[in-house]
Amino acid sequence: MPRPLASRSFPVFDGPARRSRGGAKGVTTVALNLKYVAVLCAVGAAFATAWTTPVNLGPTVNGPSLDASASLGVYGGTTYLFFASDRAGGLGYTDIWYATGTPPNFGTPVHMGSTVNSADRDGGPAICWTGGPTANTLYFYSTRPGGAGSSDLYQTTYSGSSWSTPVGVGTSVNSGAAEYYAFPATWQGERRLYFVCENAIYYSVYQGGSWGTPVHVNLGAGDAYHPCQCGEGEGAKLYFSSRRAGGYGDYDIWVSTYAGGSWGAPANLGPTVNTPYADNCPWFAPDGRTMYFSSTRPGGQGYYDIWYTVLDNPAVTPASVGRVKALFK
């Protein structure tokens, strides 16, 4: 279990006690491709100098409370920013809120209400507005009663006027361990759902009306949280956060590039994005170049804030970054 960053624990890091999934029947592993280490070191150097100085999202969204784990998507021409917060007006330890606007300017956050939120932890929202049978769906994790383990993944669907009662994503994904931080994506015709379990990243493929057996993504030595896939196939990126060796302090944001059939050695995004404090939960805006993330760095409004930075290096093109088109409608 990742250790808390302060006397108060926070669900961006503090996963509930859980049973190991390592020996689960049918769980397979995607190997790390070390053949491309030299190439990815050069790519990593480009990424380390590619980002603008991060900007705090401001006091309309961020407050003196915990505000983190942003997820953006466009529906009906409006950009929605979903995030987790323990601000006043919630029902539990953390609740899911949303704000609308034109990035990076958003209006007053709105609580998602008792249909979605519970008296327990509800966090890690991940929106997917399009994508056939998984369209208009918000994924999140919750410690509410009735799950398979100490934390399960749930989904709620938007009808155009309201959100449905959340249901678990299924027993292939949810287990006696703790699953959290989902990320919906497409991959060359597949519908994927990335998630975190036992300090590692997995994904499941949607087939025949349900999510299949999880596949472990090998990202080398060290933990891995908060997956964010950008692009598909050769050259795709998988952003994630980790406290592995080679970082700048607490949690850092890293990126792995898909090449030759597997994910390559992760590269740190560098000191413009990462600090001695916690930096995590990456998510790209609809423009494909603006990355929102969470941080405890100085200069924020509270304990945890949402920040953004722009990929601004001509050597790193939008095509090389990609985006998850299924998130936007």
What counts of helices (H) and strands (E) characterise the chain? Answer: 2, 25
What is the pairing mode between strands 215-217 and 225-230? unpaired
In this predicted structure, the answer to whether residue 42 has a pLDDT above a threshold of 70 is no
Q: Compute the distance between CA of residue 290 and CA of residue 162 in angstroms, rounded to an integer.
A: 29
Q: What is the pTM of this model?
A: 0.85
pLDDT of 23 over the 70 cut: no
For the chain, the domains span 28-327
Q: Which of 190, 167, 146, 211 is nearest to 324 (CA)?
A: 190
The model's pLDDT over 183-236, given as tens digits with 9 standing for 90+, comes to: 999 999 999 999 999 999 999 999 999 999 999 999 999 999 999 999 999 999
Mean pLDDT is lowest, of 119-128, 177-186, 243-252, 317-326, for: 317-326
Please give the helix or strand (H or E) that residue 28 lies within, else none: strand 28-30
Angle at 33 between CA 177 and CA 26, to 5 degrees: 35
CATH superfamily of 28-327: Glycosyl hydrolase domain; family 43 (2.115.10.20)
